[in-house]
Structure 1
Amino acid sequence: MWPIFYTLLRGSSRYAPYITLPFAGIIGFIGYNIENILSDKYTPYNKSIEEQRNERLLDDEKLKNASKVDKLKYQANVFDKNVPPSLS
């Protein structure tokens, strides 16, 4: 058995897949099972983003009181802040 193995190792690289494939398969199988044992498979249920958005929109106070609309007023924005003295 060992002489055949050494002959295959000594030979050209055309035998490399026949040698490495079984070892890679065994190592992969062992790693897969260890990962399944160690990992937590429980994933809690979360509502979809669309459902969360719809609930937020329904809970919005402005939608409940559609008759009371605030006047549109100029509000400060990002461009009004942190203006250098030379531009103000």
Structure 2
Amino acid sequence: MKILTVCGMGVGSSIILKMNVEKALRSLGVTADVEVADIGTARGAAAGADLVVTSGELAPQLGELKAKIVVIDNLVNVDLIARALEAALSEAR
């Protein structure tokens, strides 16, 4: 499984989100490759992704993607991230 975390510039917040997505996945017992991207390169980078995790303000800018978009409003709350990921993964099954 490949997960892409997206922020506006592809630095700071997407790296924090990547680390917290990895923590959330560990708590769920899910193995995935988690990568970061900025909003400008996210559409291309998402081509091979199963999930794209981003903020509510950036999600509409991604347009239509093959990957499921998971909106996270609190990038540092690992429990909320885990619940959102768990819901997205259960929908994919």
Which structure has the larger Rg? 1
**The two structures share one fold, judged by TM-score above 0.5:** no
More strand by share: 2
Higher RCO (CA-CA < 8 Å; seq separation 6+) = 2
TM-score of the superposed pair, with normalisation by structure 2 = 0.21
TM-score of the superposed pair, with normalisation by structure 1 = 0.22
More helix by share: 1
